[in-house]
Structure 1
Amino acid sequence: MALSRRERIRASWSRCAERGLAVDFLRVPFSDDVDTDSRLVHYAAPVLAALRSSLANEPVAVLLSDRSGLVLRRECDDPAFLKALDDVVLAPGATYSEEAVGTNGFGLALADDRVSLVASRDHYNHSLRDYICAGVPIHDPADGATVGALSLTVWSRTPTDLLSALATQTAMNIEARLPGRAGAGRLPGAPETPPDHGRVLPKQRPSQQPRHRLTRIEALERDAIAGALARAGGDAGDAAADLGMSRATVYRRIKYYGLKGVGKDQQSR
């Protein structure tokens, strides 16, 4: 039986304590030797750039690491948020594995090989508790090996429901660009060349519009959930598992965005 998010956080904290990591002092391993021309960076760059453009001037950082947790790339347009990230050395060249800095989005995603939401006080180190991080492992479509991770990082006051879906969809879009077996590097139903530099547009469209204008992040989340529903044949439970979100959250967001989704019990009727 899969562990719940809270159980995974507790297990991560236990591992951090066993390693003797400090909770009140942040020492981030840093290297100037970052391979900015790696295979992962090459194929992920258009996806990250497209997402950055969609989130222009929003305090959201889009980060890419290799499988060791070494940060390879950071995309963000908000100067104040960039400075705050520099203060905790969350930048290319830093290693943000669980072993190095404790429980965080990158670290937990790589340690558990699962979508991981680490919110404010979930972070083992107190210096990171001003942030919420949604981390997603990135796999090679040829053999399924973990090649890196994606993390979306925001201030701790930001609603967390939005991050996991958006981070998961972005990681899938990166995987869709990685070369592999015939057809393995492309999402089901996606065109050969994804539009908007790697962003796969969902087939499903809202059946009704929300009562207020969506923020940029909400619009991206709506597209991510709609895409997951399309891949799952409309099954909301499977879409939730695909995105690393709870079923209850996905059902709420389906209703909020006016999307069409059903459960397996309804499909069999």
Structure 2
Amino acid sequence: MGLLRDLTELWESSAVVRRARLYPFMPDVAKFEGRVYGVPFDFNSQIWYVNLDYLAESGVVPPGENWTVEDLRTLARKLTDPIKRVYATTNEVVRGDTQNLQWIQIWTGYDWLSDDRQEVLVDSPGNLEMLAFWDDLQNNLNATPGWPGAWSAKGNYYQGGVALWMGWPTYSVSVSHMVNHDWAFALMPKAPAGQLSFAQGHMFSIPANAAHPEAAWRLAEWMMSYEGQKAVRHRTPNCGPSFSRVWVRMRAATPETGS
């Protein structure tokens, strides 16, 4: 790839990698055109958090496994309460980030780029239809913050100001420690092109111009081992909604220090 060192041969010959217990899709995180450019570290998908207490208080049944975007629209009407200062949800495509990748896929069945990567498809009819759905939730139903003259919620999902919130499963650590309401997961709602969840992964890579590539691989390989994963998991405290301290703690646990 130019910037990153090709680790394919090291990966294929590593006894540590062969012993590693990985879900089959995990190695794909670190591959490009069949070559390995890093060691997979984690994997995360999109999920919805449901404020069960507020839904029960509102007389609303939580989303089922096969709920749809029209069910979401119906819930948006029922769960928005300006008196209690609770919005049904938040506008998940207004920022133009990974949530948009999620929603264009399940609404249209294609990516934001054409298959040959030559055309941007954000103004395609299907994507505009998806954006119109969220525009309706925000500016017609006023079920999300952001519309002109919007009232202030009593807080975010953690504080009970949002009934349904789309996020990552890793947030569950902070949710379990910080919210005062009962909560549950829900899958993505079914849209015209399906219900699949967008997923992302992270990896540890070695720069192509690394001064000590052998030592760097030794560290990356250790991260694949049971001992390496144990060090990260058990010697790193829960960090709430901010993960910046994880990286500081992680760098203190290396093969050299033995901690």
- Shared fold per TM-score greater than 0.5: no
Higher relative contact order (CA 8 A, sep 6+): 2
TM-score by length of 1: 0.25
Q: Which has the higher helix share?
A: 1
From the CA coordinates, give the structure whose radius of gyration is larger: 2
Per the normalisation by structure 2, the TM-score is 0.26
